[in-house]
Amino acid sequence: MIEILPMSKEHIAQIAKIEKECFSQPWSEKALSEELTNDSAVFLTAVFNGEVIGYIGANFIIDEGYITNIAVTEVHRQKGIGCKLLSEMIEEAYKRNLSFLSLEVRVSNEKAISLYKKLGFDYVGIRKNFYEKPIEDGVVMTKHF
C-alpha cells in the first residue's frame, strides 16, 4: 500500500535520486534538506514498502500556494501516484484556506498537463523560455479555491 507522508530527513537521499532521474536541473540533497526548515514549504512523499517512489513540494505564502516540484519514479508512473500526491497537496491547500494553488509545467509535458486539468487546474498563461536544458516555454496553471 502506498502511504503519503510528510517529507523527513530520511527521505532526502531518495528524493534527490528521483530529482536526478526526472529533471535536467535537479534539486540537490542540500536544497531539499533546507526545505525541512522552511516554514512556508510543504513536501509530501509517496512511500511504498519503505521506498520513496514520488514526491510533491510547494510553498504556501499567506493565502497563496506554489507547487515547486512533483515527480514519480519512472517504474511507478501511470499508477495514479502523481494524482494521489497532487490530490493530497490540494487538500492541504484547502485546509489552510489558500486562495489558489499554482504551478508551471513544460509545454511538451502533455501527461502532466492532462493530470492538472483533471484535478481542476486552469490554463493561465505562458512563461517564455522558462525552462532550460532544453529551453522550453512553461505553461502556468492555477486552481482557485
Write the pLDDT tens digit of every residue in 99-135.
999 999 999 999 999 999 999 999 999 999 988 889 9
Output the CA angle 56-57-59, nearest 5 degrees.
150
Torsion angle (degrees, nearest 10) of CA 87, 56, 40, 32: 170
Active site residue 64: no
pLDDT at 53: 98
The per-residue pLDDT for 129 is 92
pLDDT for residue 138: 95
Average pLDDT over residues 81-92: 97
116 in active site: yes
Look-up of cell digits 509535458: 109
- Quote the mean pLDDT of the chain: 96
- Annotated catalytic residue within 21, 104, 110, 136: 104
What sign results for the dihedral spanned by CA atoms 77, 83, 86, 89?
negative
The active-site residue, picked from 35, 55, 92, 116, is: 116
Residue 133 has a pLDDT of 87
pLDDT band at 13 (very low <50, low <70, confident <90, very high): very high
Which pTM value belongs to this model? 0.93
Give the Cβ contact number of residue 80 at 10 Å: 13
- Write the pLDDT tens digit of every residue in 26-50: 999 999 999 999 999 999 999 999 9
